[in-house]
Amino acid sequence: MSSPRFDPAHVLKFDLGRGQVEVDGASPRVLVPAEALLELCKHAGPDALRDFGRKLGTEAGRRTADALGAGLAAASLEALVDHLGGNLALMGFGSLALERWGRALVFTVEDSPFGPLGDALLASVVEGALQRAAGRDVEVVVLSRDDASMRLVVLSPPTAERVRSWLQAGTSWGEVLSRLHQPARGEA
Partner 1 sequence: MTPQEKIARLESLLERVRRNVVQPRERLSSALTVEDDELSEEPIDGVSAAPAMVETSVVEVSEPIAAIETDFGELEIEELDLTDEEIVDLTEAEELPEEVPVAAAAPESLDWEEAVEPPASSRRPIAAASMDEALAGATSEVAMEEGREIPLKTPPPESGPQEAPLPQMGAAPVPLIEEADIQSAPVAPQGEALLELEEPPAAALEVEQTLFEPAVEAPAAPPEPVPESGQVAPQVVQRPAPVQSAPSAYVAAARGFSPQSFAELLDASLALRAE
182 binds partner 1 (CB under 8 A): yes
Q: Is the dihedral of CA 18, 23, 26, 28 positive or negative?
A: negative
2 binds partner 1 (CB under 8 A): no
Q: Please give the distance of CA 98 from its chain centroid, rounded to a whole number.
A: 10
Binding test (CB under 8 A) with partner 1, winner from 65, 118, 154, 173: 154
CA angle in degrees (0–180, nearest 5) for 63-139-175: 125
178 binds partner 1 (CB under 8 A): no
Which of 22, 99 has the CB closer to partner 1? Answer: 99
Number of residues counted as binding partner 1 (CB under 8 A)? 32
Asked if residues 23 and 103 have their Cβ atoms less than 8 Å apart, the reply is no
Contact track, partner 1, 85-124, x by CB under 8 A: ---------------x-xxxx-------------------
Minimal distance in Å, beta carbon 4 to partner 1?
A: 15
153 binds partner 1 (CB under 8 A): yes
185 binds partner 1 (CB under 8 A): yes
Residue 22: which H helix or E strand, with range? strand 20-23
Burial of 115: CB neighbours in 10 Å, binned 0-12, 13-18, 19+: middle
Stretch that binds partner 1, among 6-14, 22-30, 33-41, 148-156 (CB under 8 A): 148-156
Single-letter residue type at 143: L
Q: Measuring CA to CA, how many Å separate 55 from each of 26, 40, 61, 168?
A: 14, 16, 10, 27
Q: List residues binding partner 1 (CB under 8 A).
A: 72-77, 79-80, 100, 102-105, 130, 134, 136, 138, 153-156, 158-159, 162-163, 166, 179-182, 184-185
